[in-house]
Amino acid sequence: MDKFTLSCCAETMFTDLSIVERVKKISELGFLPELWDWTNHDIDALASTGVEFSSMTGYIEGDFLENSDRLIASIHESVAAAKKLGVPRLNLHGTGLDNKGLPVNPRLVVSGRDWIKAYKVLSGIAEIGAQNDVMFVLENLNLKVDHPGTPFATAEDVFSLVSEVNHPNLKMMLDLYHQQIDEGNILDSLTRYLPHIGEIQIADVPGRQEPGTGEMNYPAIAQHLRKIGYKGVVGFEGFPSDDPRLALERFEKAFN
């Protein structure tokens, strides 16, 4: 049985260690570390570890609709940081998020003109990815619990935008924790989204902890991913219920 490449979020694991020590620990345990806001970290120190990363946030500020010029400028800054670290995937959201995960520019109603603007901005971002040999991944977010008011948040929204742009350097960061809260229907959507998935993130519902702590049947999801031929990374973007090492063992057991 082929094993999935597994990653985990360095921002939420082994938080008693420095970020440099965290990424080393995660790598030693056989996982690829992922980063959130790279501006909070010493990029040169992280690069000196020689660790292979999976993804990081691909922008600093801005959004598709009201501050797209600043978004693009910060994307170029993020690409430069990603190249230092060798990060292959840069994560995007429908709008900038504050330190509480809330949208900087909330939008309860998204117009047809908004969709067109987002499509045009994402098309340009995909070209930046092609020019720099990196993939941008647009993440779905839940509206009911963690990120109310975020435009283009649902997995269906993200799929619509990414599939319409239809560019190899723009894919979905499909977060199954977020999708379960707002939409469900995980297995059928995985099959439909497959050609446009750049990476999958997971955590259990409720609580956003490791597999086995909530309602989601991650071994069945893993079996379905093998059945449909998914070959990409699966990342645990959640919080350990207790010991981080035990949480990673449970994650590993659910998928491999």
Question: Catalytic amino acids?
Answer: 139, 237
The residues, any chain, with a CB within 8 Å of residue 226's CB and separated by 6 or more, are 1, 2
User: Which is it for the CA torsion 12, 16, 18, 22, positive or negative?
Assistant: negative
The gap from C-alpha 39 to its chain's centroid, in whole angstroms, comes to: 17
CA distance 149 to 211: 28
> Residues 43-70, buried b or exposed e (16+ Cβ, 10 A)?
beebeeeebebbbbbbbbebbbbbbbee
Yes or no: say if 26 and 247 are a contact pair by the CB < 8 Å rule: no
